């Protein structure tokens, strides 16, 4: 069974940093491109970025709103995906989802990040 | 920055057919935009229904289909069921980065 389990969310003050993690199981993580997507309360989905498999270079692409404040990385030895977020703003409050590449189609249940003083 | 536009809301009768569309501010949506479609019910994570225009996952009900229609990506639901009431999002990559549409709230009534 494919599982994506996000963790690391919580309450952080504006200007702070947070690293989210996504534990993957049930599929060959090494060969899989991965995405991060977020959803602010009551709002739509927003693509944050993706990381290619290391076989395909392990490079990243980032969406516009966050591109200067985030880093996506992966540790294939642990089947883990990460999202490092810096200089957080109140507008970054959202549920953060990790997903496989959309041709695979799997989503985690998300982790809530609240940015508030 | 690409703006992706969907109908804000649509209503379909049980057993009826409805088409949701997805337009790009960059121009006509083609297969090269790799349109994907997602369903999200309240309180749940999204679920991928369609990828790369028309491909279904093993869990995608047969009544859903994806296509290109009049320069837009389209998701057609044939034989709507009450459990299809949900928010539907499209995702496009027409200009190098992915962008979601604002979502269509589908009511089955």
pLDDT in tens, B29-55: 999 999 999 999 999 999 999 999 999
CB contacts under 8 A, B 22-81 vs A, are: 34, 36, 38, 40, 45-48, 51-52, 55, 57
Question: Region B82-98: what's the mean pLDDT?
Answer: 93
Written in H, E and C, the secondary structure of chain A is CCEEEEECCEEECCCCCEEEEEEEECCCHHHCCEEEEEECCCCCEEEEEEECCHHHCCCEEECCCCCCCEEEEEECCCCEEEEEECCCCHHHCEEEEEEECCCCCCECCCEEEEECC
Q: Measured between beta carbons, which residues in chain B are less than 8 angstroms from residue A97? A: 45-46
Q: What is the pLDDT of residue B62?
A: 98
* A109 in B contact zone (CB under 8 Å): yes
Q: What is the pLDDT of residue A1?
A: 94
Q: What is the pLDDT of residue B95?
A: 79
| Contact yes or no for A107 and B57 at CB 8 A | no
Per-residue pLDDT of chain A (117 residues; tens, 9 = 90+): 999 999 999 999 999 999 999 999 999 999 999 999 999 999 999 999 999 999 999 999 998 778 799 999 999 999 999 999 999 999 999 999 999 998 889 999 999 999 999
Nearest residue on chain B to A41, alpha-carbon basis: B43
């Amino acid at each position: 069974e494919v599982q994506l389990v996000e963790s690391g969310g919580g309450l952080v003050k504006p200007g702070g940093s947070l690293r989210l993690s996504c534990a993957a199981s049930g599929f060959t993580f090494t060969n899989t491109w991965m995405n991060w997507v977020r959803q602010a309360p009551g709002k739509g989905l927003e693509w944050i970025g993706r990381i290619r498999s290391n076989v395909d270079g392990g490079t990243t692409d980032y969406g516009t709103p966050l591109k200067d404040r985030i880093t996506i990385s992966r540790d294939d030895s642990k089947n883990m995906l990460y999202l490092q977020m810096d200089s957080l703003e109140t507008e970054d409050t959202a549920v953060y989802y990790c997903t496989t590449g959309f041709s695979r189609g799997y989503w985690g249940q998300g982790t809530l990040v609240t940015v508030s003083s | 920055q690409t703006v992706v536009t969907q109908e804000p809301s649509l209503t379909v009768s049980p057993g009826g057919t409805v088409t949701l569309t997805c337009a790009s501010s960059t121009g006509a949506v083609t297969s090269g935009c790799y349109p994907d479609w997602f369903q999200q019910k309240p309180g749940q994570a999204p679920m991928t229904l369609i990828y790369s225009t028309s491909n279904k996952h093993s869990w995608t009900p047969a009544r859903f289909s994806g296509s290109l229609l009049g320069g837009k990506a389209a998701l057609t639901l044939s034989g709507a069921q009450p459990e299809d009431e949900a928010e539907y999002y499209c995702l496009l990559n027409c200009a190098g980065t992915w962008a979601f549409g604002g979502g269509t709230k589908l009511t089955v009534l």
